Structure 1
Amino acid sequence: MTYRVDLSIRAEDTIGRLSHEQQQDVMETIAAALVQPEAWPAPGGWDATTLYGPSSWITIAAYLDGIDVLDVGCLW
């Protein structure tokens, strides 16, 4: 089964300002979230949740076929 990831404009802008290492960490956090649908909020986009990686966090909304990344950040 394939999943989609859509990045909101805010997330895209934030990722663009991060260093290469920070971008890598955020992308790994997104990839980890994608393979854990049990951690997603209820599908439909009405709810959001924040998931944490080793040095970053992402806020996502869920749909039946994937997630929208609404915001990202790094703990550095």
Structure 2
Amino acid sequence: MLYEVDLAVRVEDALDELPVDGRQKAMETIAATLVWPEGWPQPGGWHGAFAFGPRSWVWFTAFLGGIQVIDIGWTG
């Protein structure tokens, strides 16, 4: 099944400000989150969840068929 990801404006801005390595790690965490729907919060409403990568994290909500990434972080 194909899933969709929406990035909040501040996430897009944060990705633009990261060094190439940081951007890559954050995108890997987003991708891993996207393909693991069992870890998504219940779609709709204001339920959110965190997903953690080796050096990054994402805060996201779910909707039918995808996720919206609200915030990201990277430890450089």
Tell me the secondary structure at the aligned position of residue 30 of structure 2.
helix
Q: Normalising to structure 2: TM-score of the pair?
A: 0.95
Aligned residues: 76
Unpaired runs of at least 5, structure 1? none
Query: Considering only aligned residues, what root-mean-square deviation do their CA atoms show, in Å?
Result: 0.8
- Are positions 1:32 and 2:25 aligned together? no
Q: CA deviation at 1:45?
A: 4.3
TM-score relative to the length of structure 1: 0.95
Q: Distance in 2 between matches of 1:24 and 1:66?
A: 20
1:8-48 per-residue CA deviation (whole Å, 9 max, x = no partner) reads 01111111100000000000001100111011111114211
Q: Which runs of 4+ in 1 moved over 6 A?
A: none
